[in-house]
Structure 1
């Protein structure tokens, strides 16, 4: 369902250090992994994972981003709930049902504040996968950063609840950043009508955007393993992602001026 396989890695990945952080938030400390490039950063990327959290896949993704020159921060958004083994979809869904997205939104805003404090001169993107993509959409209508990337964000319409008061499809109209989004046309969790609604919503925001629907791909298609059937489509989407980051991140204007969240 989501990413239950680790990334096979790439030449030189062992030289990129993973630093474990505990970052203060309004709801207590949150664990996160930080990956730094070897030279001056080209920008910063905050990664919001799928329902399995800070799994080996996302930790290697952080290394891949660092290898491309970006500071990457991968928080464990589910650390206040019980652990779930990679690939245990039933347990992962049960944890999602108990997941307080209000707390997650505050946590992600704290991650942004941490990155801004450490790298005020660099642009910041939020990259979200599955439920992390839904969170990234709602965050982009409430916080200030430079770019949003979505991989198979689960934006299916649903009523607001106490634990989940955000409706990402509605939030797209208030998106405050350029947006790049990928879905497969065979995604069993994101039907075509939801993708059409997402396209309409982001168009209303007035932000530059690109909605990419990949033929023959289902949910969680991104892979860096050449043996996987999704590899070609994955490489296409990853190259496009790196180009998008290169376009929208970099030195910020007036880095010492506070950015006001919307």
Structure 2
């Protein structure tokens, strides 16, 4: 696998991104929407694993509007200052609508990389809702959207993902942490109802015993067995949906 550092021109500036290519020619692309701690080696490793399965993978920096930042340590960024305040500012200052608009440029970047057909999205933590939003905003390009330990997927906010799923044409997979305050059972029920009413092929799966962040290796709550289960589900989902 080879990683290429690229710059993507968006409506609001220039986003840095990593583009990961498999060792052989590929025709299917994936956008990996980061968690709250930004692009870093842990996400590179995940993108490399997807590339090893034959996908071209784009990992964009969703916090590019804030200029240079970090590096952020997933183990301590929310528990220590000043990183906690800086991180909260970037999360709150990067709306779902911003990422939705940015995703048009991300799709163009994949097209320039030779991926012109339908693609998949996957997001972790704050990226989970963005992966679903992208599928709703660009239904003719995105055939599969996956979220793992995504938060606020069915909240009271006007931009809550569950309010926008009706335009999705592809499949949706949601893997939730066993007990997660950012995606409690009542939100799971609301999301399931919205997806069923929209007649979208979907799965919402509860990973019992897993904590928010379990699938990403540099989180304190990383769980190897749970992460491998997530990989099995994700790769099967993309294989069935995109190939």
Structure 1 length as normaliser, TM-score? 0.80
Q: Distance in 1 between matches of 2:230 and 2:106?
A: 25
**1:20-169 alignment to 2 at 5 Å?**
20-41=5-26, 43-81=28-66, 83-84=69-70, 85-87=72-74, 88-89=77-78, 90=84, 91-120=86-115, 122-143=117-138, 144=140, 145-154=142-151, 155-160=153-158, 166-169=159-162
Q: Distance in 1 between matches of 2:157 and 2:234?
A: 31
* 115-124 vs 213-222, greater mean Cα deviation: 115-124
Instruction: Point out where structure 1 has 5 or more consecutive residues left out of the alignment.
Output: 1-15, 161-165, 251-262
Q: CA RMSD in A?
A: 2.1
Deviation at 1:167, TM superposition (A): 2.1
Q: Which has the higher contact order (CA 8 A, sep 6+)?
A: 1
Q: Distance in 1 between matches of 2:223 and 2:73?
A: 20
Q: Distance in 1 between matches of 2:116 and 2:106?
A: 16
Aligned equivalent of 1:202: 195
**1:165-244 alignment to 2 at 5 Å?**
166-223=159-216, 230-244=223-237
Deviation at 1:21, TM superposition (A): 0.3
Q: Distance in 2 between matches of 1:118 and 1:94?
A: 33
Q: Distance in 2 between matches of 1:211 and 1:135?
A: 16
Q: Deviation above 6 Å: which 4+ runs of structure 1?
A: none
Structure 2 length as normaliser, TM-score? 0.86
Q: Distance in 1 between matches of 2:7 and 2:214?
A: 31
